[in-house]
Amino acid sequence: MQRNSTLPTFTALALLALVAMAQEPPAATITGGKIQGGLLKTGGAVFKGIPFAAPPVGDLRWREPQPVKPWTGTRDTTNFGARCMQGGADVSEDCLYINVWTPEWPPKSRKPVMLWIHGGGNFAGASSEAIFDGEALARHGVVLVSANYRMGIFGFYEHPELTAESKHHASGNYGLMDQVAALQWVRDNAAKFGGDPRNVTVFGESAGSLDINVLMTSPLAKGLYSRLIGESGPVVAPPSLAEGEKKGLSVAAGLKADSLKAMRAVPAADLQKATGQGLSFLGPILGVVVDGWVLPKHPFEVFEAGQEHRVELLLGSNARELTRPFFPVEGLNQGIAAEFGPLAPRALEVYGLKNGQEPAPDPVFGSAMAQWATDSQFRCGTVAELIWHSRAGNTSYQFQFSRVPPGREAVGAAHGSEVPYVFGTLSIAGRAANSPKYDSTDGAVSAQMQQYWTNFAKTGNPSGGSLPQWPKFDPAARAYMDLTAQGPVAREGLRREACDVFMENIKRK
């Protein structure tokens, strides 16, 4: 009986496979020309490596993205485009490519669109990374899009001559401009893949989250999306254009390039080598500057005034993002003293350091150093942004990811650990060397997160179906959803005392 009961399932799968084999490869005509992608085994289609802007090479290096150059014939889009310049192999300046997963082909109805902006500190990463495969999320009834953007010196470089040649009298933030161009491409082309250009959610992690959060204050991005999901990267306080130009001149001097023309002539590999891989060039704010055009005003000021884009926001962080802060500190007490100034005694008390002895590590948040690192660089900035955004009358939700992947108990729910749960790619992430040994609990957490994320993309409310109700965030209760191994748990006031001191310190500065 058991054997006979499984036959219909196998027969159905075989029929689906035969139907897929019989179908013509999916094709669409978009900005630039005709493309041909591939069919997904589970139904739907995928298109990879679609150009969404002209290659930013030669004279287009350090310029705003230009319109894509039309091609003749049908362009094959079954392989990813090159990664943007960074350390490692298979990189290129010609990297402005976008990818699309759609759950049905041909499209029968309009579906919400989710545009993914990857992390990597604005100096590494690519939309083609295996854990960003969009098929699992697309199966929840959304069109999943991911895009590359310029990084490092190629995406975040300021120079007085660049500012002078710009009709906007600005330089830098080219990576942010690429993200805006990707949103514009979605607006113009999503319908060809069954997407609804009027229902777009942009979501990102780490630097990708930071970038899209500061873009909430940019006129360039206004009206291009309805919702935003940010994972571990709230709005920040970038330096000025003048500060960026000083750094840019210093880099040029080190390369013995006495003009912008000379800088544009430097081979890409040499520019990458000269500026290194990581925060040494970009700094703790990851290269973003208040340039007067992409970011006309300081993002904190825009949020405090309630003048950011009026979009629905789901924002959160992981329970133990870091064990130490990105910036160098001699010790915890010294770091807190330098950061908080006259508020330091109160901060020391919050972290249990007032008597000079460090308390035992918290089972969820880790040591006092880990708590401060996560509070100061992720968690409390998230709370501050949500307070500003909800106070301005915008629907807002907060999450904390607390599930510790098996085998990672020593580091806890660390930075980036939630990403394969969101994409439903635990099986892919689990293949890497020294990867966690994900189990059925992780599968359940992943399924819940995928449903929450796509519910939010569809309606602006993550709740729905059999999922526990996710309360809205408000400045008083500060409700949030804790995504734990035991399932989602609604709580209030995440690290309230620490975040209150953090926000007072923002005002002091």
- Tell me the sheet residues that pair with 92: 84
User: How many Cα atoms occupy the beta-carbon half-sphere of 261 within 13 Å?
Assistant: 0
User: Of 64, 104, 129, 321, which residue is the catalytic one?
Assistant: 321
Q: Containing H/E element for 334?
A: helix 332-340
Rounded percentage of the chain residues whose pLDDT exceeds 70: 96
Classify residue 397 by its DSSP letter.
Answer: E
Cα separation values, 373 from 204, 238, 368, Å: 21, 19, 9
The pLDDT, as a whole number, for residue 357 is: 86
93 among known catalytic residues: no
The pLDDT, as a whole number, for residue 330 is: 86
First to last CA, the chain: 73
Buried b (16+ CB within 10 A) or exposed e, 409-444: eebbbbbebbbbbbbbbbebbbeeeeebebeeebee
The pLDDT, as a whole number, for residue 354 is: 86
What is the rounded CA–CA span in Å between residue 15 and residue 34?
30
Options 3.40.50.300, 3.40.50.1820, 3.50.40.10, 3.40.50.10700; CATH for 2-326+367-499 is 3.40.50.1820
Please say if the pLDDT value at position 7 is more than 90.
no
The pLDDT, as a whole number, for residue 1 is: 40
Sequential DSSP letters for 153-182: HHHS---HHHHHHSTTS----HHHHHHHHH
What is the rounded CA–CA span in Å between residue 299 and residue 212?
12
Report the candidate in 313, 233, 320 with the shortest Cα–Cα distance to residue 480: 313
**CB distance 214 to 300 below 8 Å:** no
Q: Pick 328 or 495 by higher pLDDT.
A: 495
146 among known catalytic residues: no
Q: Average of pLDDT values for 310-321?
A: 98
User: Of 171, 206, 402, 463, which residue is the catalytic one?
Assistant: 206
The pLDDT, as a whole number, for residue 2 is: 42
What is the rounded CA–CA span in Å between residue 409 and residue 203?
28
Report the candidate in 116, 118, 139, 315 with the shortest Cα–Cα distance to residue 213: 315
Please say if the pLDDT value at position 53 is more than 70.
yes
Q: Containing H/E element for 76?
A: strand 74-76
| Coil, helix or strand at residue 29 | strand
Q: Supply 487's token pair.
A: 């399932």
415 among known catalytic residues: yes
User: How many Cα atoms occupy the beta-carbon half-sphere of 306 within 13 Å?
Assistant: 7
pLDDT tens string 403-418: 999 999 999 999 999 9
Length of the chain: 509
Mean pLDDT of the chain, nearest integer? 95
User: Of 218, 308, 415, 446, which residue is the catalytic one?
Assistant: 415
Q: Supply 260's token pair.
A: 């912008």
Domain spans, the chain:
2-326+367-499
Q: Supply 400's token pair.
A: 């904390």
Sequential DSSP letters for 200-267: EEEEEETHHHHHHHHGGG-GGGTTS-SEEEEES-------BHHHHHHHHHHHHHHTT--SHHHHHHS-
- Tell me the sheet residues that pair with 115: 145, 202
pTM of the complete model beyond 0.85:
yes
The pLDDT, as a whole number, for residue 247 is: 96
Rounded percentage of the chain residues whose pLDDT exceeds 90: 91
β-pairing verdict for 38-39 and 45-51: antiparallel
Count CB atoms within 10 A of the CB of residue 299.
24
pLDDT tens string 185-231: 999 999 999 999 999 999 999 999 999 999 999 999 999 999 999 99
Please say if the pLDDT value at position 13 is more than 70.
no
Residue 9's pLDDT band (boundaries 50, 70, 90)?
low
